[in-house]
Structure 1
Amino acid sequence: MSDNYGMASVEDVSENFIPFITGEKPQITDTVTIASGSNVAQRALLGRVTATGKYIPCVKTATDGSQIPRRIAIYATDATAADALCPVYCEVECNPSLLVLDDSWSSTNEVKELLADQGIYLRLPV
């Protein structure tokens, strides 16, 4: 038993753990509305529909405003039946290999600069 109350000991940490948060930048989070009809995966890239202000998975070929990457879903959210609230990262440094992109994006390199404009930085863990 460790004397570090509430802290994991070295033997408690999995060697296979891959962190999503990779830097020391303060995380800024918020809650957004996911539009009805969407099923959002954890760590999914989200875009905002201009007409409604609601968020949906970011698709590169969209023309409704949601083609611009703006947020990352913290948790999976099922809004297939009705609008749902979803906690999101607004600003963060995160692991690009764990980011969930729609198939319309060929790689995280395509969204890297677009996300940097939002305060989201893709950085591999060191």
Structure 2
Amino acid sequence: MSLSISTIGDNASTPGVRAETYVPDQLIAGRFPLVTDTVTLAAGQNLPRGAVLGVITATGKFKLSAAASTDGSQTPTAILVDGVNATNGDTLAGVYLTGEFNQRAVTFGAGHSVSSTKEALRLREIFLKSSVSADDPS
């Protein structure tokens, strides 16, 4: 009789066990308290986690903050918690109202950058922080 011992190196083959690799996106960049809320993301957008949002004054809906907007959304007010596809209609979405965020991990609308949004976000207790990537020799 021969006895075979198999080493379980791949948890995916073990019944009832699921293994996933966690790869952080490094959006959160500090310990300042994160305050979240649920808002309505205006239709016609497909936005990634970390998008810088502004609020449309007339409707109270949020959209990607763009410098040339004239509907109130040109002022950045929040950061999107998770990617949201609202292309087919208004969609509820989680936003960060306060916190420290990696400026390399946020997404800006047309005409916006770290320098053009940093002060407006700081006034809302949203802080953009620089980071040094592990592969950045500077």
TM-score, with structure 1 as normaliser: 0.81
| 1:36 lines up with 2:33 in the alignment | no
Alignment of 1:77-116 (within 5 A): 77-105=84-112, 107-116=113-122
5+ residue gaps, structure 2, are: 1-20, 133-138
Gaps of 5+ in 1: 1-11
User: After the TM superposition, which parts of structure 1 deviate over 4 Å for at least 4 consecutive aligned residues?
Assistant: none
Using the alignment, how far apart are the partners of 1:117 and 1:20 within structure 2? 19
Paired position in structure 2 for 1:4: none
Matches of 2:65 and 2:104, distance apart in 1: 17
* Native 8 Å contact 2:53 2:79 kept in 1: yes
Larger Rg: 1 or 2? 2
1:60: which partner in 2? 67
CA distance in 2, matches of 1:70, 1:38: 17
RMSD: 1.8
- Figure out how many residues of one structure are paired with residues of the other and give that number: 112
Aligned-pair identity in percent equals 37
User: How far 1:18 sits from its partner (Å)?
Assistant: 5.6
Task: Give the deviation of 1:24 after TM superposition.
Answer: 1.3
CA drift at 1:102: 1.4
Q: Deviations over 1:18-68 (max 9, x none)?
A: 622111111101111001122222110100000000001101000000000
> 2 CA distance for matches of 1:47 and 1:115?
10
Compute the TM-score of the two structures, normalised by the length of structure 2. 0.75
Q: Please, which of 118, 122, 126 is the counterpart of residue 128 of structure 2?
A: 122
